Amino acid sequence: MLELRGVTAGYGRTRVLADVTVEVPRGGAVAIMGHNGAGKTTLLRVAVGLLPVMSGQVLLDGADVTRLRPNRRVARGLGYVPQGQLSFPQMTTLENLQLVSTDRAAIDGVLDTFPALRGLLARRAGLLSGGQRQQLAIARTLLTGPRMLILDEPTEGIQPNVVAEIESVVTALTARGDLSVLLVEQHVGFALRSTGSYYVLESGRITSSGAGGPDALDAVRAAMAV
């Protein structure tokens, strides 16, 4: 479970987030939506500990982690997949995974969620498609065994015909029940289908929130049209 309580944060003296409160329940999945520049990545960076709060608190499984460094949060079960499908391009898919764990059983377990990667283990990551590289980035983070997974725009820069593949991976993860997920995603339909609740962030403030599902589509579109 992850909670941001009344978080105000930004860069230098510039405030980007103002009094933001977000809760991801244990085993639940939450989507954050909003226009470019609304502060979504900033919110995730605060959750992970890459950016300090100006005020407010971050709680992980009920414990106050506001002052903990990112590596200490990871040790407590936080996993973060930043934007950009990051991988080491000269290394193979398998070698990229082995940077986190050389336990073949653990790698096999994670690959169950990424059947597309199984046949690509010997291929250099630099030769993978954007969608495949995104799956590799998520798989690598899953190898750290997180209970709380943070995904920043997994479909960013992905060809439209592969977005459904990423959606099915994310949906499989959010359906697991033993993993909490915080998802930033521009594709509103995908975000609502794969999560249980949503928040809309506009100019650093939460302007709308509610239960997810297809019924929320109109509410979110209206909130984002303002």
Ligand X SMILES: Nc1ncnc2c1ncn2[C@@H]1O[C@H](COP(=O)(O)OP(=O)(O)OP(=O)(O)O)[C@@H](O)[C@H]1O
The binding site for ligand X (CB under 6 A) comprises 11, 16, 34, 36-42
* DSSP label of 172: H
Half-sphere exposure of 23 (CA within 13 A, CB side): 7
| Shortest distance in whole angstroms from residue 209 CB to ligand X | 16
Q: How far is the CB of 10 from ligand X (least distance, A)?
A: 7
CB of 92 to ligand X, least distance (A): 30
Type of residue found at 166 = I
Non-local (6+) Cβ contacts of 56 within 8 A are: 4, 5, 6, 7, 8, 9, 19, 20, 66
Question: Between residues 146 and 204, which has the closer beta carbon with respect to ligand X?
Answer: 204
Closest to ligand X by CB, 41 or 195:
41
Nearer to ligand X, 7 or 107 (CB): 7
**Least distance from C-beta 203 to ligand X, angstroms?**
9
Give 152 or 167: the residue with its C-beta nearer to ligand X. 152
- Going by C-alpha positions, the residue among 165, 143, 140 that lies closest to residue 155 is 165
Check: CB of residue 15 under 8 Å from CB of residue 46: no
CB of residue 159 vs ligand X: minimum separation in angstroms? 18
Tokens of 196: 């249980």
Report d(CA 168, CA 171) in Å as an integer.
5
Nearer residue to ligand X within complex by CB, 52 or 115: 52
